[in-house]
Amino acid sequence: MQTISGDDIPNIKKISDEFLKKIVICEESGRPFRILGKELEMYRLFDLAIPRLHPDVRHRDRVAKRPDRVLYTRKSDLTDSTIISVFKQEVNHKVCSTDEYQKEIFA
């Protein structure tokens, strides 16, 4: 099988099914990985670029973006009531209780 570096991956519109026979070398870890047929179909369907990072590296990056497993007492951004949340008061997005959210969305 032929190996390919992330820099050599063509645009998704130019990739044929022959790409499934190639081994991609992760740009960060250097670990090899392959793209599966169903993955390639999804990337084509949504016009997404083929990933350049190993699945384990992508997973690690996603997990790192999750909030800490800590609960905070804070004020709701909708009603100013006290709620418990995984988000600190200082976050840049709105946070509210489940009940407040339900009323806002389904009212």
Q: Where are the domains of the chain?
A: 3-64, 72-106
List the structure tokens of 66: 């999750």
Report DSSP state, residue 46.
T
67 within 8 A of 86, measured Cβ to Cβ: yes
**Which pTM does this prediction carry?**
0.66
Candidates 19, 51, 25, 24; CA nearest to 37 is: 19
Question: Tens digits of per-residue pLDDT, 72-87?
Answer: 999 999 998 999 998 8
SS3 label, residue 62 = helix
| pLDDT tens-place values along the chain, 107 residues long | 899 998 899 999 999 999 999 999 999 999 999 999 999 999 999 999 999 999 999 999 999 988 778 999 999 999 989 999 988 889 898 999 999 999 888 87
96 within 8 A of 83, measured Cβ to Cβ: yes
54 within 8 A of 31, measured Cβ to Cβ: yes
